[in-house]
Amino acid sequence: MQSKSFYAKVYKIVSKIPKGKVATYQTIARLAGSPGAARAVGTAMKNNPDMKTIPCHRVVGSDGKMRGYSAGIGIITKIQMLKAEGVDIVGDRAQLQTSAWKT
């Protein structure tokens, strides 16, 4: 189980992802100092304490695929939000070549 300080790092990093960009769970884990903790990043996103300032919908799988989302009607809502922000999406995948956040 990850510490509260890990989650705090994750939330701080995710809050910096700009509109129109996405980052992978793996990238967030690496930036938080725990490169093998992609699943823990997913847990942090699931328990997001403030969706207005921590845009968890901008975090996707390493292949660009949409993963769990609890707001609205789930992944459909996530895709709609990302498209509205200008993220290039084909099917249920963000096109990382054009939409990945460059850290």
Residue 51 lies in domain: 4-95
Residue 74 lies in a domain: yes
Per the annotation, the verdict on 56 as an active-site residue is: yes
**Domains identified in the chain, total number:** 1
The active-site residue, picked from 56, 59, 87, 94, is 56
Residue 100 lies in a domain: no
Predicted confidence at residue 73, as pLDDT, reads 83
Query: Residue 6 above 80 pLDDT?
Result: yes
Stretch 14-36: mean pLDDT: 97
Predicted confidence at residue 10, as pLDDT, reads 98
CA distance 56 to 46: 8
Residue 49 lies in a domain: yes
Q: What is the pLDDT of residues 47-101, one digit of tens each?
A: 999 999 999 999 999 999 998 877 778 899 999 999 999 999 999 999 999 999 9
Q: Quickly list DSSP for the chain.
A: ---HHHHHHHHHHHTTPPTT-BEEHHHHHHHTT-TT-HHHHHHHHHT-S-TTTS-GGGEE-TTSB-----STTTHHHHHHHHHHHT--EETTEE-HHHHB---
Residue 26: pLDDT band (50, 70, 90) is very high
Six-digit token string for 31: 């930036």
Predicted confidence at residue 100, as pLDDT, reads 97
Residue 85 lies in a domain: yes
CA distance 45 to 102: 20
